[in-house]
Each structure stands twice: as C-alpha cells, then as structure tokens.
Amino acid sequence: MQVADGTIETGTILDRIVDDKRKSLHSSKSRLPPIELHNSCIRELERPFSILQTQWRLSKAIAQGSRLLGTSQRGPKLIAEIKVASPSRGRLIQSTDGRWLEDLARTYTEGGACGISVLTEGSHFRGKLSYMDRARRSLQKRYPASRPSILRKDFLFDEYQIWEARANGADAVLLIVAILEEELLRDLMILAEIKGMDALIEVHDEKEIEKALRAGAKIIGINNRDLRTFDVDLATTERLRPLIPDGKLVVAESGIYNRADVERLATCGVHAILVGEALVTSRNVHEKMRELII
C-alpha cells in the first residue's frame, strides 16, 4: 500500500523501520531545517580543499577495484560494511569507544575494499550519520588519492536524506525498491546524480528488478535476505542475476561469509559483494578480507 510520502507498506519489518526513520527525519529537520542543510552543503563545496569536493563514484570503484592496492582482481570487488548491530543478530560490534571506527575503516582500506558501506540507521542498527562523516574524514586525510568509495546504507525516502548523505561525505546512497514508489525512486536517483553520487538500488525479487530497470538503475544490489523470515539464501542471486541486462553493475548483498560463498556468487557474474557481519564479527578482519577477495 502506498503512503502519502511516496513510501510503500510491505508487511515486513521494513514498515516499522521506515516509520521510525520518518520520526527521526522529522527531528533532523527540526534541528537543521532543509534550507540550512542546503546552504551548509553549498558553503562546504565552495571552500578550498573541501572534503565534499573529492568524490569517488561507487561505479568506478566497482569497475576498478581498490585504488590503494592497485592490483588486478579477477573476482567480485569487496564493499566492506561498518555495521554496529542488526535486528536479526543484535549487537555485532561490542564497543564503539575510542578510535574503533577510524581503525576499522583503515583496515578495510588497507585490506583491499573498493568501497565502505556505513550503516547510519539508529533505531534498529545502532548506526549514526556521524560514523560516515568520521570515516570519510579519516580516510580522506590518510589516503587522499586512494580511499574507497563511501556508501550511505540506510532507509532513504526523502530528498533531505540525500542532501544529508552528501553533507556527511557519501559518494553513493542505497535506495531500497521495496519501500519506494517508482516515481520517488527515480526522483531520488536523479537527485543523487545531481549531487555527484551514485545510487545502489536494492532489490529482492523479480518485480523489483523490473521496477529498478524502468527507473533507470545503473547499479543493482540483490539482497539475499528474506525480510519476512530473515532467512538468507544465495540462491536468490542465482535466480535473479540472469534478469539483469549487460551494462548494469550487480552487487550481491547478505549471507556472504566465506570464500566458497564468494566463488559461488562469482559464477553468477556479480561485479561486487557487500559484506558486513562476517567482517565485523571476525577475530581478524584483515585475514577475513583476504579470504573474501578472490
């Protein structure tokens, strides 16, 4: 069912998450009205050596791989996720004290990630928009010419959130087809493009792929998680990948834990994998990255 703001009720946990996000968005707009957010972006872009001036498109990152390592990579590129918690698994990163975020972002960069996804939703995933800003600023300072692309992963449905992403250092945003009417999906994709960002368009089934393609999606993420049951099945990517035409970049999301999973997805012809839980819960993140990059 369509809602007045262009979102869709799905009958899944997405409805509760979007409703909570709607409330937090109202609070954000009260603290920083849209016109002030727009003006702060413009001022930042006009400032010499602004952090916002140096964009690294996700599409280029997926096509070229890690700029730091500078090596050819035969398998899917890795988008490594900063994810504090999830509704299905609870707390994943036990401590967020000190420089944990900067250290994790540096490990991801040095380990060969082409992109870093930062989960910024707070109510269900314990994320913060400031995490993305901190990660971007830290990497921009340490690796000005070789940092990964930064993706804002959240439940976005309002133009304000696209501006927010840009103001806090995103190179790309995630847009979830299941929660967006087609017109709104297209409008948010266009706005992201205008602001110099790519959009990763997430789908879960055949109808959502059709909708994403009609809207003009260039990067399509196939989520292997069933949002009704939370079950994860890589067969979802195997089933849906042939429906996406050549010329589109395809990212497999969720349920990727080991080299066998990556090799299975590589056979499908995906261009990148997005991995969160397997990395943030690993005892040795760098070793886990070596396992996942083939």
Q: Which sequence positions are flagged as catalytic?
A: 81, 83, 153, 202, 223, 253-254
177-193: buried (b, 16+ CB within 10 Å) or exposed (e) per residue?
Answer: bbbbbeebbbbbbebbe
Count of beta carbons in the 10 Å neighbourhood of residue 101: 20
Max distance between CA atoms of the chain, in angstroms, equals 49
Distances (CA, A) of 105 to 72, 156, 199, 246: 22, 23, 21, 32
- How many Cα atoms occupy the beta-carbon half-sphere of 57 within 13 Å? 15
For the CA atoms of 21, 176, 132, 67, the dihedral, rounded to the nearest 10 degrees, stands at 180
- How many Cα atoms occupy the beta-carbon half-sphere of 41 within 13 Å? 20
Distances (CA, A) of 70 to 61, 110, 134: 12, 11, 25
Report yes or no: 228 and 12 within 8 Å, Cβ to Cβ. yes
Report yes or no: 199 and 173 within 8 Å, Cβ to Cβ. yes
SS3 call for 91: strand
Burial class, 45, CB count within 10 angstroms (exposed 0-12 / middle 13-18 / buried 19+):
middle
